[in-house]
Structure 1
Amino acid sequence: MGLDLSPLWISISTAFLATLITSFLGIVVAYKISNYNGIFKGLIDGILTLPLILPPTVIGFFLLVLFGKNGPIGDLLGIFNVSIIFTWSATVIAATVVSFPLMYRTTRSAFEQIDNNIISAARTLGLSEMKIFLKIAIPLSWPGIIGGVVLSFARAMGEFGATLMIAGNIPGKTQTMPLAIFFAVEGGDMTKAYLWVAIIVVISLTMILLLNYWSEIQLKLMGKRGI
């Protein structure tokens, strides 16, 4: 019997959609927080970064409480006869939550490294905040943003604990590669486990090489521009 490749496609599709969501949210939130100097900045930053520190099973528990049948979000969705638990959507939610802090922290650091004089000059020239964000902040922070995207994708693809808690291990539906590895080892099928481990290592190494290549290109471009 050949190897069932559904965990590969589930992992890639989950990581891809989760990365799209975290990229959009991470960039917007990171820019807002980097320009916010209120007294609650530390608290907000801590809450946004919390999934990076908490054990994945704890994150999965919170998601289970929120999206469960008796949870606030699950109860609301139940009105429309929609259930999230133990579906592919649950794998995307879990991957999004655990990967968001990486995108947020990396992008926020990139935004905070922008020279404030450039932003001040743009405001003096009459540019709106939206134009400053799109035409100045994003281009100047692009290397950091790309780094955040790569890290988020890798984290989303490797998510295990939260996914198991909220999505379960349903072959062909919610079984990702990390779950396939765990249950292959648990079932004594070391050959299958080795194959999935090899696939994940190859994908992860490829992403690291692409990130390094991108960084080298950016450094060369910045050198040519005299930055």
Structure 2
Amino acid sequence: MDNSVSQVLSKTKRSRQKPKSMLNGAITILIAINVMAIILVILSLFIKTSPAAIQSMITSFKVKSAISISVCSIILSLGIVMLLGTPIAYGLSQKKGGFYALIEGVFSIPIVLPPSVTGLALLMTYGRRGLIGTWLNELGVTLPFSFIAIVIVQVFVTMPYYIQIVKNGFANVDKSIAEAARTFGASELEVLLLIYMPMTFKAMLSALILCAFRAAGEFGATIMFAGNLEGKTQTITTRIYTLYQMDLTQSVSLAVVQIVVFILPLLFLKIKLD
């Protein structure tokens, strides 16, 4: 009797393991296919250029200017996103209910907006005849087609990612620790700075890395709101577009430079962080 029961249990266990092993195998194959597809796409750029062409791009004054504008704008926009997004993420992590869910949904709108629509909307808001731009123009302030316009675009498109990731990180903090701190007289600012932020450091850094990726690759909204003025608003991404219209080989070489200068270091940092 015991032997028959054991055989039935053994067969049942094997029957359950077989679909699981098949699923794991299918997942492994899908991962391998997608990884190879991504590597193939990136590799195609490196194959179509040469070290000499890459060196020519790096030594170009216009490329140096585009890289400088990209780096400076990304650093500034990440600082603004962190400064504004951290308290917002903290507030959303502490509140529940339909109203705050609606607010969170509003913050997510820039993620789903097409880049061209984002650029046009920013132009209609901050342009000389825009809702806010009209008042700014009277004060002598012009935002479109300036360096600040690049920063505005990057903050607008990256803020939702930062808020969502950091909010989820804050939500995982043990609330009993924060309650204990409040009991001993800690203010909400102290709770945020001394408890929540240190305990979610990795989440905040991961969010900033993702935002840097997003900002570095931004094109559509940037070219519509900030333009593509050499030495003023031309980022490395819009410079690639300019070269694409003139010389495909040079645009490919600059694309490789962008991968090496921006994407690979950020990707390495993300791997080290995980």
The TM-score normalised by the length of structure 1 is: 0.90
Alignment match, 1:156: 215
| 1:33 aligned partner, one-letter code | L
The answer as to 2:69 corresponding to 1:10 is: yes
The answer as to 2:268 corresponding to 1:194 is: no
Distance, in Å, in 2 between the alignment partners of 1:183 and 1:162 is 16
Structure 1: runs of 5+ lacking an equivalent: 216-227
How big is the shift at 1:38?
4.1
Alignment match, 1:133: 192
Q: How many residues align?
A: 214
Distance, in Å, in 2 between the alignment partners of 1:110 and 1:37 is 16
Q: SS state of the match for residue 72, structure 1? A: coil
Alignment match, 1:19: 78
Give every structure 1 segment of 4 or more consecutive aligned residues whose post-TM-superposition deviation is greater than 6 Å.
Answer: none
Deviations 1:111-137 (A, max 9, x none): 011112222222223222111111101
Distance, in Å, in 2 between the alignment partners of 1:127 and 1:6 is 47
Distance, in Å, in 2 between the alignment partners of 1:26 and 1:196 is 32
Alignment match, 2:107: 48
Distance, in Å, in 1 between the alignment partners of 2:103 and 2:254 is 38
For the 8 Å contact 1:114–1:140, the answer to whether it is kept is: yes
Give the percent of matched residue pairs that are identical in Structure 1 and Structure 2: 34
| 2:130 aligned partner, one-letter code | G
Q: SS state of the match for residue 40, structure 1? A: helix
Judging by fraction of residues, say which structure has more helix.
2
The TM-score normalised by the length of structure 2 is: 0.75
Structure 2: runs of 5+ lacking an equivalent: 1-55
1:84 paired residue among 143, 160, 164: 143
Q: SS state of the match for residue 86, structure 1? A: coil
